[in-house]
Amino acid sequence: MEPFRSSSEKPSYRCLESELDMVRQEKESLTQQLLNTIKHKVALSQELEAWQEDMRLVINQQVQQREEERQRERVREKDNAVGLQRSKSLKLKGEGGKGFFSFFKEK
């Protein structure tokens, strides 16, 4: 584009029309680029939201699994503690002891 003010003559109608067409085409091109960029941004935003939701699900699953593992471990520890208590009560105590098997001892 040539600036109109630099020339001493007035631009012709045909030149102005040509200039206007060029500007319109450039505007349309930029508008199309902007629309494409916006569409791309929307697609990326949707992808990001889907990824974030997937991550939320994965994290929630992992938290739930860890909590279930902790509960199973607590149950195992509790069962082991109860098992140890039972085995201690069944042990033969020393001479003259009054443990469970003490009545089987020879007198």
**42, part of any domain:** yes
Distance CA 98, CA 91 (A): 10
> Structural domain tally of the chain?
1
**55, part of any domain:** yes
Contacts for 87 with CB less than 8 Å, ≥ 6 apart: none
What is the model's pLDDT at position 4? 53
**103, part of any domain:** no
What is the model's pLDDT at position 38? 98
Locate 26 and state its tokens.
């450039």
The domain in which residue 48 lies consists of: 13-81
**3, part of any domain:** no
Distance CA 21, CA 13 (A): 12
**89, part of any domain:** no
Type of residue found at 107:
K
Judged against a pLDDT cut of 70, whether residue 89 lies above it is answered with no
**97, part of any domain:** no
Query: How does pLDDT run across 28-86, given as a tens digit for each residue?
Result: 999 999 999 999 999 999 999 999 999 999 999 999 999 999 999 999 988 887 766 65
